[in-house]
Each structure stands twice: as C-alpha cells, then as structure tokens.
Amino acid sequence: MEDLQIDLRPETEGDLEFLAALYRDTRRHEVAGWGWPSDQQALFLNMQFEAQRRGYRQMYPDAMGRLVYVQGTRAGRMLVNEEHAVMHLIDIALLEEYRNRGLGTHLLTELQRECDLRKLALELRVLAVSPARRLYRRLGFEEVNLDEIYIQMERSPMPAFEGSG
C-alpha cells in the first residue's frame, strides 16, 4: 500500500450517486443469485440503499462519512461515529476492483492508530457469515456480543509506547 496514494476526504451530498453505485457494487453478486430480472435487481438495490442511508442517519445523526480515494479515484467509503470514548465503524465498503488488495487492512489500521492516539475504543458489527471476521480478528478485534445475524466486535485502544529516554 505504500506505493499507492490513498486519501480520505469528507463525504458530501454531491457524493450520493457514487455511494449508491458503491452499495450496488457490494451487493450485486448476492442479489444476482436470486434469479430476479436485472431491472428488478436494480430497483431493489436502490431501495435498500435508501433504507440503509435513512437508517444510518436516524441511528447515527452525527456520523462522519469519509470517501476513500486511491490514486485520485474514488474507491470506497468509511462511515464512523464517535460517542462516549468509542469510535463506531458503521460501514466500510470498497468497489470490487479495490477489494482483496490490502486496502481495507490499511484503512482499518489507520483508523486504529487514530483511535489509539485519541484513547478511543473501536467497535463494529459484522455479519456472522462474513469472511471479514477473520480480518477483524487478525487486527485485534474481539467478539463481545452476537445474535443470529451480527457479531459485535471491539478493540480497546493500545497504550502509547513511551521510549526510555
């Protein structure tokens, strides 16, 4: 990742079309497996995107969206919300061509570094069947709560290293 220029910038209302396309990209394989006609798939994915967007706004009105740029091109987004000494990673999504290349790991470790500096715990929820659980465990997240669908994971802030001067 060192050889790639990776930047984050605040999400704006002007990014809505990209965010909808990103959502469709992350869910299209799943929905394609249902056997629906393509126009019905598109309608469903657009409705789901709007529902997710409304839900996030309602649950996390102060959430901060960060668009991920790689080499100046939009590649994904992270949505975070800080509350009571905890940073919640609400959503992280990358376009398919940027997945499985270490970008997600890079983004998460940078977010962890930010949380460590600010002494914030980092929490997230992940689908119980998601392969991302392995990544989160590898990055030091622990499973703290689970239901039939989601697992809540968290990582406590790491203490700052104090050199012996």
The predicted structure's pLDDT at residue 165: 45
* Domain containing residue 44: CATH number: 3.40.630.30
pLDDT in tens, 99-144: 999 999 999 999 999 999 999 999 999 988 888 899 999 999 999 9
Residue 119 lies in a domain: yes
**Residue 95: inside a domain:** yes
In a domain, 55, yes or no: yes
CB atoms within 10 A of CB 37: 8
- pLDDT at site 4: 82
State how many domains the chain has.
1
Percent of the chain predicted with pLDDT > 70: 95
pLDDT-derived band at 164 (thresholds 50, 70, 90) equals: very low
What is the residue whose two structure tokens read 């009571």? 84
Indicate if the pLDDT at residue 64 is higher than 90: yes
Q: pTM value? A: 0.88
Q: Which of 138, 132, 165 is nearest to 151 (CA)?
A: 132
- The answer to whether residue 165 is domain-embedded is no
